[in-house]
Structure 1
Amino acid sequence: MTRPIDDLIAIMARLRDPENGCPWDVKQTFATIAPYTIEEAYEVADAIDRHDMHDLRDELGDLLLQVIFHSRMAEEAGDFAFGDVVAAICEKMERRHPHVFGDVTHESDSARSRDWDRLKAEERKAKGGEDHSALAGISRGLPEWQRAIKLQKRAANTGFDWPDHRPVLDKLAEELDEVRHEFENGADEERLADEIGDVLFVAANVARHAKVDVSRALRGANQKFERRFRGMEALAESEGRTLTSYSLEEQEQLWRRVKQAEKL
């Protein structure tokens, strides 16, 4: 069964009705809803990682509701409506894809990426933006790992990039040595934060050169750690103990047992 988007728009209008709507929905603002919008986007990504198409359908619906919610609040303020959002993104997609909707051709993916950034820069200039840097327009509201990748990609489009992964790995080793040096010499928290930030920035660059999505890779690492740690707890319980009753060396042995069991 399918239903038109107008049904969802009407539902949100009813929820936001000051007299007969939902009190929670009525009192929301752009600022209070923004965290939910971000959360729903991450839940979409999680459903994709789990290959759960049923959840993905539901999470995409939740994310779409966020767009409708923001659009409804803007319409109430007399700024724009959902139809304007759709019109704007349609026009933007056609404008930014002249190789699809026009007669432009690109000789490579990198050329297409440079053209994309050029078109975005022209859009910013048309809006009256004064920042003409290649790095202009990268949102400061992004997760910092994502902003790091975008900064690196923009810089790479100007030619400022390592030729392949090898010097990036060398730089990562260099930054790790600097962190080790700061630890061994009693550096303060601010200095350590600075050096560790360099490590994370270069690690993001390693992922970019490997064409690995940083968020997906970190989610995988988190899931692996959680799975193995829960495995340690299960082993401890099977022996009639709690994990905290083991020494660190014994816990390491449990960890190795869990890892070994995953390989069987």
Structure 2
Amino acid sequence: MKQFQDLPTRRQEQLMAFDRLLTIMDELRAQCPWDRKQTMDSLRHLTIEETYELSDAILEKDTTEIRKELGDIQLHLIFYAKIASETGDFDMADVLNSICDKLISRHPHIYGDAVAETEEQVKANWEQLKLKEGNKSVLGGVPGSLPALVKAMRIQEKARGAGFDWEEKQQVWAKVEEEMQEFKAEFNAETNNALDPDRAEGEFGDLLFSLVNYARFIDINPETALERTNKKFIKRFTYLEQQARAHGKSLSEMTLAEMDIYWNEAKKTPGLS
């Protein structure tokens, strides 16, 4: 291992900044009433919130906010390690050495004799290594608490890593169309009544799963795509509200045709398309 003084200047600055944060965490845990009171359970929902804030900043391509949110998440990681160190379970050195060891073991094509020249070969190697490490199923590493859309993506990626996947995207699109027909068979679009609510829900789930699969084949992240659409809708709807107020109108008093006028304006407005 290199000595500190032998490291490049910027790496020294990075390590000193990390040490500074560790020191501040020690001081806050010892002196601040709020920080002293926190537990892993009390921090959990805050960490989830910070992660979503980072996700928003990434989607907005706001590098200033990305830097700030990364700092917030880093603080949480150090906080968890500090709490664990107080009970003697582990500390930040254990956390960092653990991930270093895992990265080395999961990359035998870099740190060993294995060969992996493509991304798919790397993923396949990962899944085999995880099974050797004790995972009973390729899908065992998919967290149960993941949102359904993200979970579908991870399930499909892991299945592909094990060699269970479609060969051509045309096959996947055919599956999408098949699932659409099966959903339509369980749902009367004209009367808007499900023939069997449970079966209709099941077929709709199959349809969504197949669409996620197709998105994966054409290199579209469905979670990102849907969130971008959410944000676009929010911007356009906000424009609709603003224009209605500017003309002395309330949405509840407007007809759909009147609202469509402002909605179509929003679609043509730079930054809202």
Maintained 8 Å contact 2:127/2:162: no
Aligned to 2:27: 14
Q: Which amino acid aligns with 2:59?
A: D
- Aligned equivalents of 2:78 and 2:217: distance in 1? 37
Aligned to 1:171: 175
Spell out the pairing of 1:183-202 with structure 2 (5 A cutoff).
183-184=187-188, 185-187=193-195, 189-202=197-210
- Aligned equivalents of 1:167 and 1:56: distance in 2? 38
Aligned to 1:246: 254
3-state SS of 1:142 partner: coil
- Aligned equivalents of 1:135 and 1:33: distance in 2? 28
Aligned to 1:212: 220
Distance 1:4 1:254, change over 3 A: closer
Shift of 1:109: 2.2
Worse-matched range after superposition: 211-220 or 253-262: 253-262
Aligned counterpart for 1:44 among listed residues 32, 43, 54:
54
- Aligned equivalents of 1:165 and 1:35: distance in 2? 38
Structure 2 length normalisation: TM-score? 0.83
- Aligned equivalents of 2:120 and 2:23: distance in 1? 43
- Aligned equivalents of 1:163 and 1:187: distance in 2? 34
Worse-matched range after superposition: 174-183 or 214-223: 174-183
- Aligned equivalents of 2:203 and 2:131: distance in 1? 32
1:180-210 deviation per Cα after TM superposition (whole angstroms, max 9, x unaligned):
4433253455444323322222222122112
Worse-matched range after superposition: 74-83 or 250-259: 250-259
- Aligned equivalents of 2:208 and 2:38: distance in 1? 36
Shift of 1:43: 1.8
1:4-59 deviation per Cα after TM superposition (whole angstroms, max 9, x unaligned):
32222222223223xx332x322222222122222222222222222222111111
List runs of 5+ in structure 1 lacking aligned partners.
none
Aligned counterpart for 1:87 among listed residues 80, 97, 101:
97
1:219-258 deviation per Cα after TM superposition (whole angstroms, max 9, x unaligned):
2111110111112223323332122222123323332232
Maintained 8 Å contact 2:28/2:36: yes
The question of 1:66 aligning with 2:76 is answered yes
Q: Which amino acid aligns with 2:203?
A: E
Shift of 1:97: 1.4
1:159-189 deviation per Cα after TM superposition (whole angstroms, max 9, x unaligned):
3222232232232233333334433253455
State percent identity of aligned pairs.
37
- Aligned equivalents of 1:237 and 1:247: distance in 2? 15
Distance 1:54 1:63, change over 3 A: same
Worse-matched range after superposition: 35-44 or 191-200: 191-200
Distance 1:186 1:217, change over 3 A: closer
Structure 1 length normalisation: TM-score? 0.86
Q: Which amino acid aligns with 2:186?
A: E
Q: Which amino acid aligns with 1:21?
A: C
Distance 1:174 1:245, change over 3 A: farther
- Aligned equivalents of 2:40 and 2:226: distance in 1? 29
- Aligned equivalents of 1:260 and 1:192: distance in 2? 37
Maintained 8 Å contact 2:138/2:158: yes
Distance 1:228 1:80, change over 3 A: same
Aligned to 1:25: 35
